[in-house]
Amino acid sequence: MTHSISLSIVIPTYNAKPYLSHTIDSILKSKAINYEIVIVDNASDDGTIKHLKKRFVQHLDKINFLILDKNYGPAKARNEGVKLANGAYLAFLDSDTEVDPQWANEALFCFRANKKVAAIQCKLLLLRNRKNIDYVGEYLSNTGFLTQVSPHGEADNGQYDFPHKILAAKSAGMFVTKEAFEKVGGFDEDYFIFVEETDLGWRLWLAGYEVILCPKSIVYHYFSATKDIVAKSFNNHLVRFHGTKNYILTLYKNLSIRYLIKILPIHIALWLSLAMYLIFTGNFRSGLNIFKGILWHFPNFLTNTQKRMSVQKMRVVSDSVIFESMSLMKNISIIDLVKKFMGV
């Protein structure tokens, strides 16, 4: 079977028993051919794997299970899943998604239509309201924070139904060629969770590849399920600490010196401002976790600098081409950014 596989579908999971069966069901009912499913379990304690093996006993020839010894987060889990993957193409899904029947075929068509494309963002629609958008790609803002192509929850009226360039894809519904994934080093496992897909997509651009939205490849995303699971286990620390840490690390690794000097100081100042605001409004733990995310970079400076040097060494495209010629940077006002923060 391994010789005929063209697509490996990698799904990390952690205590997602109520959702993952629906994800697998939708894949099995899809029109995808020559595929395998790799489930990577981050040491769940809710009986996820036992349930899946019983539920899909007739399909175990298509499903591989990898059980990790502890929760390493989705970044490492995906990398471990790729090590077992036999396909030339990789599909990443979250455990709270369902796929459209033509989801895989449409993505493979987009790859074949443009040989420079290394990663594809599926059109992510909300599972509970399938006429509304969850995510269709992202750009970098002039402040170093990400801005989405579409506001979350926007009605899908076909306004994004054309392949266009984006900075990075979201792993809830994402395809990437295995060759390109391995060339740029896969996901950075120091991220644990949050922004790791942006870092990967950005490195693909630097290596000379392209990342696009493939709007006919549709995935439905429950959206809040993963956040609910995360909140029960890690609460605010996961969001504030890793969010701050990973945003700064992504900018430090991937920006050229010119853009780094221009963007990173403003970016860090905005994080500090948010931390102070949270502390003064009584949310001490959130503010403290942001400070911890910033301070993490001091003892890890040499390691992070080595990562930066490795990333910049493989650069074949300038930031001016990526952000200006390809319009992958968007201006965002401080007021709009504050509103975004307050909604987090």
Q: What is the pLDDT of residue 338?
A: 65
Q: What is the pLDDT of residues 33-79, one digit of tens each?
A: 999 999 999 999 999 999 999 999 999 999 999 999 999 999 999 99
Q: Please tell me whether residues 196 and 273 are part of one structural domain.
A: no
Q: Note the pLDDT of residue 78.
A: 98
Query: 236 or 9: which carries more pLDDT confidence?
Result: 9
* Whole-number Å distance between alpha carbons of 103 and 30: 8
157 plus 252 within the same structural domain? no
Contacts of 257 (CB under 8 A, 6+ apart): none
Kindly state whether residue 42 falls inside one of the protein's structural domains. Answer: yes
State the CATH number of the domain containing residue 7: 3.90.550.10
**Where a domain ends, among 204, 227, 250?**
227
12, β-bridge pairs: 40
pLDDT digits over 32-44, tens only?
999 999 999 999 9
Tokens of 129: 């309201």
Nearest CA among 292, 222, 277 for reference residue 16: 222
Domain enclosing residue 192, as ranges: 2-227
Indicate if 267 and 221 belong to the same structural domain: no
Please state, in angstroms and rounded to a whole number, the distance separating the CA atoms of residues 213 and 138: 10
The secondary structure of 82-142 as a DSSP string is HHH---SEEEEE-TTEEE-TTHHHHHHHHHHH-TTEEEEEEEEEETTEEEEEEE--EEEET
202 and 236, same domain (yes or no): no
Is residue 158 domain-shared with residue 277, that is, in the same domain?
no
Q: Which of 178, 203, 227 is the last residue of a domain?
A: 227
Confidence of residue 1 (pLDDT cuts 50, 70, 90): very low
pLDDT surpasses 80 at 317? yes
Let me know whether 164 and 261 are in one domain: no
Would the CA dihedral through 83, 89, 93, 99 be positive or negative?
Answer: negative
Are 287 and 153 members of one domain? no
Total number of domains in the chain = 2
Check if the beta carbon of residue 143 is closer than 8 Å to that of residue 189: no
The pTM score is 0.93
Q: For all residues of the chain together, what is the average pLDDT? A: 92
CA atoms within 13 A on the CB side of 223: 14
Kindly state the percentage of the chain with pLDDT values over 70. Answer: 92
Quick check: is 128 in a domain? yes
The pLDDT score that the predictor gives to residue 5 is 83
Q: Does residue 49 sit in the same domain as residue 35?
A: yes
Q: In this structure, is residue 308 part of a structural domain?
A: yes
Question: For residue 238, is it left (φ>0), alpha (ψ between -120 and 50) or beta?
Answer: alpha
Same domain? For 214 and 101 the reply is yes
What's the whole-number mean pLDDT along residues 167-188? 97
Q: Which two tokens stand for residue 333?
A: 């006002």
Residue 344 lies in a domain: no
Answer whether residue 9 is part of any domain. Answer: yes
273 with 205, same domain: the answer is no
Stretch 182-205: mean pLDDT: 96
Domain end point (choices 227, 250, 283):
227
pLDDT tens digits, 190-200:
999 899 999 99
Asked if 198 and 251 sit in the same domain, the reply is no
Tell me the residue length of the chain. Answer: 344
Contact predicate 51/21, CB 8 Å: yes
324 — pLDDT class (breaks 50, 70, 90): confident
pLDDT above 50 (res 263): yes
Statement: residue 238 has pLDDT above 80: no
